[in-house]
Amino acid sequence: MNAPDSGTDRAADEAPSAAPTTSFATSSAPSSSVGSTGDVGRSRERFGSAELAIVLSRYDLGEIESIKEFPRGSRKAPKLIIRCENGKFLLKRRAGGRDDPYKVAFAHEIQLALSRQQFPLPRLIGTRRDNNSMLERNGAIYELFEYISGTGYDNSLQATGEAGRILALFHKLLREFRSEYKPQVGSYHASKSVQRSMKIAPQTLGRIDRDGRNADEIQALVRSLDTSYRAAASRVVEAGLDEWPTQIVHCDWHPGNMLFRGDRVVAVIDYDSARIQQRITDVANGALQFSILGGGEDPAEWPDYVDVTRFRRFLATYESVPECIVSKAEIEAIPWLMIEALIAESVIPIANTGTFARLEGFSFMRMVERKVQWIETHADELIAAAAQ
């Protein structure tokens, strides 16, 4: 689910009182009745009127007052804000490729377990007939969430610390969690997907290059990042990662997946990447995401360094949660995991499309190279800061 608009009220609490369950039957083939604007250009999928009427009838919403399109997040996953007698909700049809019912069921199990323990997240709303957390119809999967409004991350130390504390709470609450569905494994660390992307990135960048760069310049940049990625992965293994216990991790802990009110996290969203891994992969990525510094439309103007003060605050508040102390060995792995996460996040989409969001791929990767080199050079400083 993508972050709701920040300017609307929080959903009312009159939702079904019993927590929904998660189960599914074998889906039938997709039907042409599912409304769509198609995949041409940058068009956005939409609900068909008949489709919407049928889907809404499966929920106990009471009288519907208004329905508003919510054009955020993936264009392949249409969303609507539903204001009705029983509150305010967000309806979503999952995008193709993210609608494997087993993976959805696993993500829902996590959300329901967290919801029972008062973790801040939008509640899943169960269907009218069987209180199921997902609705399957004609090969599509629908979800209805409590609507929670909030603001984005404001870069403050207080909000940074809150993000670290909530991650620790997430890990603590799910430490002993066991799912009846098989979770995903793997992460940005020593990823085969990253290695594959390194191989195809030069060809992708060469096809779309508009600045006349020669193939040798592109190859040199990709080779530099590949070398840094492999070296960082080796340092993480040397630190002992493979011997550390695993548990459920969020695997996508960044400001865009949180809603704030002031400096308090009121909702964590998007559990689709959750999987089994060592918790430090989450901690290191979170420390990176909440301390990295961006800029405007030109990545060449972005600074090399991370905000060490925010980096320290994120980790300190993570450890403020009982039973969430980070070991010395884990701390020593953090800078190298940050390098892996930074490279993985950029190389994979750029290898596929040649761009990172709206930014030209080569320039973005050059900026990533600078940041990676800064972390490599200042790894000891970051380790010392994390140990304070």
Domain that holds residue 284: 157-387
pLDDT in tens, 183-221: 988 999 999 999 999 999 999 999 876 666 788 999 999
Quick one: average pLDDT of 121-148? Answer: 97
Look at residue 377 in the predicted model and tell me its pLDDT.
98
Is residue 251's pLDDT more than 80?
yes
| CATH code of residue 277 | 3.90.1200.10
Q: How many folded domains does the chain comprise?
A: 2
- With beta carbons less than 8 A apart as the criterion, state whether 379 and 335 touch: yes
Do 134 and 231 fall within a single domain?
no
The last residue of a domain, from among 94, 125, 149: 149
| pTM summary value | 0.88
Amino acid identity at 168: A
Do 162 and 145 fall within a single domain?
no
Do 190 and 104 fall within a single domain?
no
Do 340 and 207 fall within a single domain?
yes
> Alpha-carbon Rg of the chain, whole angstroms?
22
Do 208 and 87 fall within a single domain?
no
Look at residue 234 in the predicted model and tell me its pLDDT.
98
The last residue of a domain, from among 100, 120, 149: 149
Do 44 and 108 fall within a single domain?
yes
| CATH code of residue 103 | 3.30.200.20
Do 80 and 221 fall within a single domain?
no
Do 56 and 139 fall within a single domain?
yes
The last residue of a domain, from among 149, 167, 190: 149
Do 25 and 72 fall within a single domain?
yes
Among 6-20, 83-97, 262-276, 362-376, the minimum mean pLDDT is found in: 6-20
Among 6-15, 119-128, 167-176, 232-241, the minimum mean pLDDT is found in: 6-15
Do 204 and 106 fall within a single domain?
no
Do 83 and 166 fall within a single domain?
no
Do 136 and 56 fall within a single domain?
yes
pLDDT in tens, 278-311: 999 999 999 999 999 999 899 999 999 999 999 9
40 vs 24, more confident: 24
Is residue 12's pLDDT more than 60?
no
- The pLDDT mean for the chain works out to 90
